[in-house]
Amino acid sequence: MSEVLSVQGLEVEFPVPGGAFRVLDDVSFSVRDNEIVGVVGESGSGKSTTVRSVIQLHKPARITGGSVVFNGRELHRAAPKELRRIRGREIGFVAQSPFDALNPVLRIGKQFENVIRAHERASRGEIRARALELLASTGIPDPARTLDGFPHELSGGMAQRTVIALALSLGPRLLIADEPTTALDLTVQRQVLDLIRGLVREGQRSMLLVTHDLGVVANYCDRVVVMYSGRVVEVGDVATVFGDPRHPYTRTLLDAATTDIRAAAPKSSPAKRETAPGCNFAHRCPRADGVCAEERPPLTVTDPGHGFGCHHPLSIEVTTSAGTSR
Ligand SMILES: Nc1ncnc2c1ncn2[C@@H]1O[C@H](COP(=O)(O)OP(=O)(O)OP(=O)(O)O)[C@@H](O)[C@H]1O
């Protein structure tokens, strides 16, 4: 399976008074053809900054190191014009709030025209036909009426379906969805996630999905990237990472899964993150010792594709002739 997206050693900083705050530190992961990759972690761990950095929508933050390669092209070096071409056409983006993504004073039909005409020549009739088809594919009951109306006439669920249809209107190879259902009623969340998964699978696309909800990852994703305090602490197949987590933070997340992980732990303090030479999780980790405070754990890769950054990983019970060791 080939890689659509490869993020390697990504470092991102936000300007703050008197200096810079490193939000992402050595973030690496990939998205392969036709797979859905979930990005999880508590509030402030850097999920949104990571996915927004892929398409350079992370301003005012700056990429200070590492690389983002999409379909063989180095997006971290791409000129604004090339990025504008790639966004929408090759990478679609669905944000948390559909009403932020839609222009309140333009009819939906006009918004399809604007998106499509920014990238290709098409007649109004062609655009309308494509938009009707896309809206119908997202389960909107009366696509023609939606197209002729304004965003405020839509419910949250219908507005998010419309945004998804817009994001798919140019046939992107990768869809990035940043908490696409958080702003929706619980009853609508599942329908929208089912819809996105169906459209991604049918269209042979890949998706990067940011979520707080481990249940969503378990049900919708092939692989998962677990972030803590601006770093990737564990990455791998969902079944492996959730079934045999090696990083104590992943274990903490899974244990908290019956509660909301946003509430499971306080936001990590930027000051602590900036100065921590070792593992960012050490001050909360029951297994931490001196080495954890001093040395950053490298990402260890065990089974194909399962990596974790921990000096004292879980589940390594090795029985030898000399006894059992951790
Ligand atoms: N404009 C900004 N200036 C400075 N720091 C920022 C800015 N935006 C975000 N941050 C900081 O960057 C860190 C990562 O934020 P980010 O939104 O990427 O995390 P997240 O995991 O997506 O959180 P959430 O789940 O709450 O959306 C946080 O500590 C946040 O306070």
CATH number at residue 235: 3.40.50.300
Does 25 or 302 have the greater pLDDT score?
A: 25
CA of residue 320 to ligand 1 center, whole Å:
45
Strand partners, 68: 7
Q: What is the ipTM of this complex?
A: 0.94
CA dist 132 → 94, 112, 126 (Å):
19, 10, 10
CA of residue 137 to ligand 1 center, whole Å:
34
CA of residue 39 to ligand 1 center, whole Å:
14
Q: Tell me: the pLDDT tens digits for 272-316?
A: 454 568 999 998 998 999 999 999 998 888 777 899 999 999 975
State whether 57 and 195 are in the same domain.
Answer: yes
Residue nearest to atom 13 of ligand 1 (CA): 44
End-to-end CA distance of the chain: 35
Residues with CB under 6 Å of ligand 1 are 14, 16, 21, 23, 41, 43-49, 60, 270
Q: How many CA atoms lie within 13 A of 77 on its CB side?
A: 6
State whether 111 and 61 are in the same domain.
Answer: no
Cα 163 to chain centroid, rounded: 17
Q: Tell me: the pLDDT tens digits for 53-92?
A: 998 877 788 999 999 999 999 999 899 889 988 988 899 9
pLDDT > 70: percent of the chain: 90
Within 10 angstroms of residue 189's Cβ, the number of other Cβ atoms is 18
CA of residue 103 to ligand 1 center, whole Å:
25
Give the global pTM: 0.87
Average confidence (pLDDT) over 1-26 = 91
The preferred substitution site among 40, 47, 260 for testing ligand 1, maximizing ligand atoms within 8 Å of CB, is: 47
| Nearest-10 crossing angle of helices 108-117, 124-137 | 110
State whether 139 and 184 are in the same domain.
Answer: no
- Above 70 in pLDDT, residue 317? no
Within 10 angstroms of residue 149's Cβ, the number of other Cβ atoms is 16
Q: Is residue 302 part of a domain?
A: yes
State whether 116 and 145 are in the same domain.
Answer: yes
